[in-house]
Amino acid sequence: MKDKPKKKKKPKDKPSLPIPRDWKELVLDDQDVDVLKIEEDNMALQVGNKPSMEELVKHAKKGDVKSFFDLIKIHTSVHDNNNEEGSELIIPFVSADRDFYEQKWVQKILDKGMKDKAFRKYFWKAVSSRQNNTLFKSTAGELKRYISIRKNEWARQGMTVTEIKKELQSKKLLSMDLRDKGTLGKFLERCGVKRPKARGRPKKKNTT
């Protein structure tokens, strides 16, 4: 009698860093908030320095190779444990998001790029980014994560840069080089924060 084949465990990807509970409370009480999209945009911002996943994909489709490799980083991971249940063997294997890789535009770029030596080098470097600690941008990581969570609410409330600055300072997320209003404003724009419309002066009542 043949032994039953061992069940394969689904590989556990290293997710983006978990959102702190006090940050979640800022958005999870709103039923209209898409938490998954917030996480995707957070990854796009921290890995690809783009304000949203949609923006990162758009740049990659237009031929921005760096943005394409950033998407490879997000959708691929290498594991150093065997995926067979009960096995203690250490066998490295690659886990890839098929939904991403099976897209025609992705395959088109890969088919052309993998014929180039330099492209292959950067492709495999991107694939192993989680193991090489090159997945996330090193600068302002916590700050970018917080902005990803809060930017829609800031836009809804029409908050100014000054008001946003006060909130970020209360969370101790602002570094010295970002405390200048002008510098912070530009940084927020790069992170996808929309500037509120100028508040005009109230109209004087016509007394005549």
* All structural domains of the chain with their residue ranges: 19-49+137-195, 52-135
pTM over 0.85: no
> Strand, coil or helix: what is 7?
coil
**Inter-CA distances, 54 with 21, 38, 46, 59, 60, Å:** 26, 12, 14, 9, 10
- Look at 10-19, 37-46, 73-82 and tell me which has the smallest mean pLDDT: 10-19
- pLDDT confidence bin for 89, thresholds 50/70/90: confident
More confident residue, 172 or 33: 172
pLDDT band at 83 (very low <50, low <70, confident <90, very high): low
Determine phi and psi for 94, rounding to 5 degrees.
-100, 135
Q: What number is the average pLDDT over the span 148-162?
A: 87
1 vs 51, higher pLDDT = 51
User: How high does pLDDT run on average in the chain?
Assistant: 78
* DSSP label at residue 36: H
Gyration radius (Cα) of the chain, Å = 22
Q: What percent of the chain has pLDDT over 90?
A: 28
* pLDDT tens-digit map of 96-135: 999 999 999 999 999 999 999 999 999 999 998 888 777 7
Strand partners, 84: 8
Residue 14 reports pLDDT greater than 50: no
- Name the more confident of 145 and 95: 95
Phi, psi of 76 (to 5 degrees): -140, 145
Q: What does the pLDDT read at residue 103?
A: 97
Pick the residue with more confidence: 165 or 1?
165
Q: Mean pLDDT across the stretch 88-94? A: 81
Q: Name the pLDDT band for 73 (thresholds 50, 70, 90).
A: very high
Compute the distance between CA of residue 9 and CA of residue 86 in angstroms, rounded to an integer: 9
Query: Residue for token digits 């535009």?
Result: 105
Identify the residue with better confidence: 64 or 8: 64
Count Cβ atoms below 10 Å from residue 164 Cβ, excluding itself: 20
- Which residues are CB-contacts of 146 (< 8 A; sequence separation ≥ 6)? 23, 168, 171, 173
Look at residue 109 in the predicted model and tell me its pLDDT. Answer: 97
Q: Which two tokens stand for residue 37?
A: 């999209």
